[in-house]
Amino acid sequence: MRICVHKATKRILEMQSGATPGTLLKNAESAGYSAADIEEREVDEAGYQAALAADPVELAQAAALAALKAAREVKAQDFLDNLPSWAAVKTAIEGATTIAALRVIVLKLARVVYWLARDKAD
Amino acid sequence: MANNVYAFTALTGGAAGALDAIAGAILATGDLAFGIADGKILAYKFDSTSSATESSPEIIAPDSGNGRWLLATNHYKMGSFTRVLNAQDGNVSYTGVGFKPSALIIIGSISGTKYFTVGLTSAIAGGVIFVFLSDSNYGLVANRCVEFHSGAAAEGASLASFDNDGFTLAWANDAGGINATGSCYYLAFR
């Protein structure tokens, strides 16, 4: 594959899997880039991944996705912690004989409802 | 100079009867080869100037010498490209297809997101179905073949031309486009 990179920012302007040499340079120049500011090169998959790892926009997007994934994992774990199974919930409610025990159950249920309503931890 | 015609019973491996066993030194641009391999009838044309990466069955490199056998009976080509989705509007050429297409299928997304676009185009008409990221509903646009849409901003493309070795897309953004890179796969039909 071939990629075209803006040298100063390391932003990947374009990737094409099978382009003939010079195609990406011509595309970038048509978009207003100066030939001196850009570089076209052929890379393998590892080289492409290395270029992505140096691209600031791709890095920011990867960080945002990682944060989103982490938040989803926290949400999933909160669900598991508070609603481990229907049997556990049923047993807890049927076995609750004090206000304190009921408060524990209500707090667990409220935790899950809060996640569902607001889609955030706090 | 008249071109030579060769026959083969295998594509690679270098054994007698294989296409790659024919020495590059005796081949000239325009030479033809016909044969059966993997149960298919295949035809190749030799290009002595090509140094393309060998990729059977599309591209076969002689085990000795220069040049490449290029599959002449290929009716489609799959490839990929990326697009910065807030780049300046304009035409972008995609090359290396190996023939002048007559139709395209393009699907795309932004990795790790719910952006999705699937579009078709011929020289006469095109259309795309895509997902609005804001509410995950589907949208559709006639005469475009790619559309990334956040709900508030978008970047899309229509066919500008089919070219001898690929195609050109006319990209345009709405409301400044999207600050991300879209990745697309295409299937080009001869």
pLDDT score at A95: 93
Question: Are A18 and B97 in contact (CB < 8 Å)?
Answer: yes
Beta strand B32-37 pairing with B5-8: parallel
Q: Is the pLDDT of residue B46 over 90?
A: yes
Report residue B124's pLDDT band, with 50, 70 and 90 as the boundaries. Answer: very high
- By the CB < 8 Å criterion, does B179 face chain A? yes
Rounded to a whole number of angstroms, the distance from the CA of A78 to the nearest CA of chain B is: 23
Which one is predicted more confidently, B74 or A77?
A77
What 3-state class would DSSP assign to A35? helix
Question: Residue A119 pLDDT > 90, yes or no?
Answer: no
How wide is the angle at C-alpha A97 spanned by C-alphas A94 and A100, nearest 5°? 115
* Cis peptide preceding A84, ω within 30 of 0: no
- Inter-chain contact A30–B91, Cβ cutoff 8 Å? yes
Q: What is the pLDDT of residue B112?
A: 86
A61/B80 touch (CB, cutoff 8 Å), yes or no: no
pLDDT tens, residue by residue, B155-189: 999 999 999 999 999 999 999 999 999 999 999 99
Give the per-residue pLDDT at A68. Answer: 86
Backbone angle region of A4, left / alpha / beta, with phi > 0 → left and psi within -120 to 50 → alpha: beta
- Mean of all residue pLDDT scores within chain B: 93
Cα angle vertex A84, ends A79, A86, to 5°?
A: 115
- Among B14, B9, B75, smallest CA distance to B41 is for B9
Q: E strand or H helix at A118, and its extent?
A: helix A99-118
Q: Provide mean pLDDT across the span A79-92.
A: 91
Question: Can you give the pLDDT at residue B136?
Answer: 86
Arithmetic mean of pLDDT, A93-112: 93
Residue with tokens 């030939």: A35
ipTM associated with this complex: 0.71
List the single range of A16-20, A65-69, B148-152, B163-167 with lowest mean pLDDT: A65-69
Average pLDDT in chain A: 93
Band of the pLDDT at B15, cuts 50, 70, 90? very high
What pTM did the predictor assign? 0.73
pLDDT at B58: 86
**Position A121 confidence tier, pLDDT thresholds 50, 70, 90:** confident
pLDDT at B1 over 80: no
Cβ atoms of A1 and A11 within 8 Å: the answer is no
For residues B166 and B78, is the Cβ–Cβ distance under 8 A?
Answer: no
Q: What is the pLDDT of residue B75?
A: 82
Alpha-carbon distance B26 to A7, whole Å?
A: 44
CA angle B84, B90, B93 (to 5 degrees): 80
Binding-face residues of B in 35-94 toward A, CB within 8 A: 77, 79-84, 87-88, 90-94
Q: Do B93 and A57 touch (CB under 8 A)?
A: no
Taking the C-alpha atoms of residue A84 and residue A78, their distance in angstroms, rounded to an integer, is: 9
B52-89 pLDDT tens trace: 889 898 899 999 999 999 988 778 899 999 999 999 99
pLDDT tens-digit profile of A27-41?
Answer: 999 999 999 999 999
Cross-chain CB nearest to A13 (options B79, B84, B93): B84
